Amino acid sequence: MKKKSVIIFFLFCLLFIGSVFVYFKFYNETLIDIDKVSTEIKISSERLTASFITNEKNADLIYKGKIIEVEGVIKEVSFLNNRNTVILYGNNKYSGVLCDLQSNQTMEIKNLTKGDKVVLKGVCKGFLKDAILLNCMLINQQSNE
C-alpha cells in the first residue's frame, strides 16, 4: 500500500512540475512588450491573408512567430469576454486579420470604427479562417471621414 502511495505522490509531483513549466513557458512568451521590440515585417492586411490563402506552409515560415505591422481597413471592433479585438479586411470577404489587442489598448481602440484605416503591431500566430495576431497594439489611425 505504501509503495502505491509513493508512486501516486511521485506522479502528482511530476505532473505539477510539468504544469508549472508549461505555464511559465507560455506565460512569458505572450508577455512580449510589443512597444519595445522592433518590427520584423510590414505588410498590408490584404497581402498577409493572400499569402496564407495561397500557400499556408510558406506563409507560416515567413510570418509565424514574427513581430508584424499590419496596415488595413477595420471590418469590426469587438470588446467581448474582456478581449479587445480588431478585425481587418483581407483579400476576400471570407478572411481577414484578427488582431487581439493588449488590455492596456482599450482606450486607444474605443474610438475606432468600421472603415478606419489603421496600423497594428503584434505577434503573428498563424492562420485559421483569418490571420491571427496576438498581443497587438495600435500604431497609427486614420479616420474614415
In tens, the pLDDT along 81-113 reads 888 999 999 988 889 999 999 888 888 888 899
- 26 pLDDT exceeds 60? no
Report CA Rg, the chain: 19
Residue 79's pLDDT band (cuts 50, 70, 90): confident
- 145 pLDDT exceeds 60? no
Measured distance CA(98)–CA(112) in Å, rounded: 15
Measured distance CA(36)–CA(113) in Å, rounded: 27
pLDDT value, residue 13: 58
- 74 pLDDT exceeds 60? yes
Residue 19's pLDDT band (cuts 50, 70, 90): low
Grid coordinates belonging to 5: 502511495
Which whole-number Å values give the CA distances from 119 to 11, 30, 88, 99, 124, in the listed order? Answer: 48, 20, 10, 11, 14
If you average pLDDT over residues 24-44, what whole number do you get? 73
* Boundaries of every domain in the chain: 1-31, 36-142
- 28 pLDDT exceeds 50? no
Q: Out of 2.40.50.140, 3.30.390.10, 3.40.50.2020, 3.30.420.40, which CATH number does the structure's domain 36-142 have?
A: 2.40.50.140
Measured distance CA(60)–CA(45) in Å, rounded: 15
Strands 117-127 and 41-44: unpaired
Global pTM?
A: 0.74
Tell me which long-range contacts 104-107 makes (C-beta under 8 A, separation of at least 24). 105/136, 105/137, 105/138, 106/79
| Alpha helix ranges (H) inside 2-145 | 2-30, 45-54, 56-63, 106-109
Q: What is the DSSP-derived secondary structure letter of residue 90?
A: E
